[in-house]
Chains A and B, each alone.
Chain A
Amino acid sequence: MSPSVFSTPDSPSAAAARARAEEVANTPSGRLRQAVGEPTWVRRLLIGLALFFIALILLVPLAAVFHQAFAKGFSGYWEAISSPDTWSAVKLTLIACGIAVPFNVVFGVAAAWCIAKFDFKGKNFLITLIDLPFSISPVISGLVFVLLFGAQGWFGEFFIDHGIRILFAVPAIVLATIFVTFPFVARELIPVMQAQGTEEEEASITLGANGWQTFWRITLPNIKWGLLYGVVLCNARAMGEFGAVSVVSGHIRGETNTLPLHVEILYNEYDFTGAFAVASLLAFLAVITLIVKKVLERGVRSEIQEIRASKEGAV
């Protein structure tokens, strides 16, 4: 292997690595390895280009959020963060997530159990249906609830007659959030549970445990990383959803504004520092999500591999 592009040419580890690389390169298999790899300059060029694009497309906008948020110093930042409207937006975002995520977790576990542990007709079709919300524009995801609960909607009149506000109120925001985050937990759990197979659960049932005992003591410990991974992704999307929530919220300041909607309002009022300060909260959350996701990925991989390894060992 060639030394890392970032180490300086005269560093001892780089020199050692180069010596090792030359040594390997002179063996017959080494010559073959070289023939299937790229020359060092191509390799460096490609890495450089990839770094350039990632910096340009991804890193620059992220940096801009924090830069703009602190454009008026820390006091300007704090002023925007501590305003009552921001706090009511934080509260509403937490409420929407606090309801949407548990609902989709229960659904995700149930769907993964029936899809991964059993064989039945139409399974592929069912998976496609579960994936549907991902291929629907957020605007349309919001629109469907306007059609259901609006004044002329199927259920609109019923709820209006009973004095219950759904649309332009918290219930519709929660519903739209559930809709857009619907597939996350299920789609992360299904591959993990499919890879793990059914042997352990079957053994547990055969030994006299009931279904719940088997689920809590065998299945859940096996899928905990996959489940957590799904929850993290679901939560990130739930907190950040904009289009769908924007359509159903009615934009009532201090009442039906989630954090992303609050960002939009501040931005459209030319309060850029405020908008970016609130946006920085969400950006910070996104960075945390990426870190946690990276850590969990290792756990999920080991969940799949451990089981595979133990199966191969048994055979």
Chain B
Amino acid sequence: MSASSQSSIRTSLTRPFKGPFKKRSVLPGFGLTFGYTIFYLSLIVLIPLGALFLKAFTLSLPDIWATVTAPRVLASYRITFGAAFIAAVINLFVGLLIAWVLARYEFKGKSILDALVDLPFALPTAVAGIALTTVFSVNGWLGAPLAELGIKVAYTPIGIIVAMVFISLPFQVRTVQPVLEDLEKELEEASATLGANRWQTFRHVIFPVLAPSLFTGFALGFARALGEYGSIVFIAGNMPMKTEITPLLIITKLEQYQYAEATAIAAVTLTISFALLFLINYVQWRNRRRYSL
């Protein structure tokens, strides 16, 4: 998945269309393609998701509440949200740096670097998981020197953060990079002509334009890290109350045939993901209204 294409979908959306359901067109095939789109969407996505929420409500409300606020579940939220937040903050800086360098500077090997940024999208999460675990274990390439400094990464919450940084980095880079590329040089030139130094120009001219995309990248990366499973289970150690993430807890409940409990926790996670999605769309929509024509 590429975050850049996502922003391009969103920016090319047409204004809400007023009038009857559909505007007249000489092109054929609307009925067929629209019908098939709705049918396939319902079959693959909407009905299964509906089943999830209905199943969650086979428990009574107090039972649901007790399930999703059990100490072990609350601990998993704390770990998952805390690690995802720290990872997203780290990526805010690293992602901006990489996006800046890729958008602004020319140097040898740049296109290879640019392609590499998408590695976490292309590399299966299980592969990333075992690779990160090996690299950061106490005998690993990076784990050994860190262990000498007294920092243990694999099988601790730091390991969870490392895996989350890995998988959510491209979201931040790919959201900020196109905005930096499209930024009009004239604005910066005007700012320089008016006597601002480079830092002032960045702080007062570039940053405000960049801020919505930084936020979007942050939120996309955060949301991805919340749901991530494959790259984390290997490195986390999976100790209940300490390094057990919410997606793993859902699987644990499933394996113990506690379907309703698993579903209730999943419904909570899903609701939070949807709220984030809504927030991201809202920020982009507001930003588009502010800067467009």
* Chain A residues within 8 Å of B, Cβ to Cβ: 1, 4-7, 32, 35-36, 38, 43, 46-47, 49-51, 53-54, 56-62, 64-65, 68, 107, 110-111, 113-115, 117-121, 123-124, 126-140, 143-148, 150, 152-154, 175, 178-179, 182-184, 187-188, 190-191, 194-195, 198, 201-202, 205-206, 210-211, 214-215, 233, 236-237, 239-243, 246-247, 259-261, 263-264, 267, 272, 275-276, 279, 282-283, 285-287, 289-291, 293-294
Which B232-258 residues have C-beta < 8 A from chain A? 234, 247-248, 250-251, 254
Interchain CB contact under 8 A, A179 and B26: no
Please give, as numbers and ranges, the residues of chain A lying within 8 Å of B97 by CB-CB distance: 46, 49-50, 53
Interface secondary structure of A, over-half rule: helix
Contact B229 A138 (CB under 8 A): yes
| Nearest CB of B to A264, in Å | 6
Instruction: Please measure, in the bound complex, the distance between the C-alpha atom of A190 and the C-alpha atom of B14, giving whole angstroms.
Output: 12
| A-B pairs with beta carbons under 8 A, tally | 333
Q: Mark B185-214 against chain A: 1 for CB-CB distance below 8 A, else 0.
A: 100110111000010010000000000000
Complex interface: stretch among B39-47, B62-70, B71-79, B147-155: B39-47
Chain B's closest residue to A148 (CB) is B51
A132 adjacent to B9 (CB under 8 Å): no
- Does B138 interact with chain A (Cβ within 8 Å)? no
B130 contacts A113, C-beta separation under 8 Å: no
Chain B contact residues: helix, strand, loop or mixed? helix
Chain B interface residue count, Cβ-Cβ cutoff 8 angstroms: 106
By a CB distance below 8 angstroms, the chain B residues around A285 are: 122
Nearest Cβ distance between residue B131 and chain A, in whole angstroms?
A: 4
Q: Are B14 and A123 in contact (CB under 8 A)?
A: yes
A283 touches B251 (CB 8 A): no
Q: Does B283 contact A (CB under 8 A)?
A: no
Check B130 against A191 for contact (C-beta < 8 Å): no
Looking across the interface, which residue of chain A has its beta carbon closest to that of B8?
A191
Option from B5, B128, B131 in Cβ contact (under 8 Å) with A191:
B5
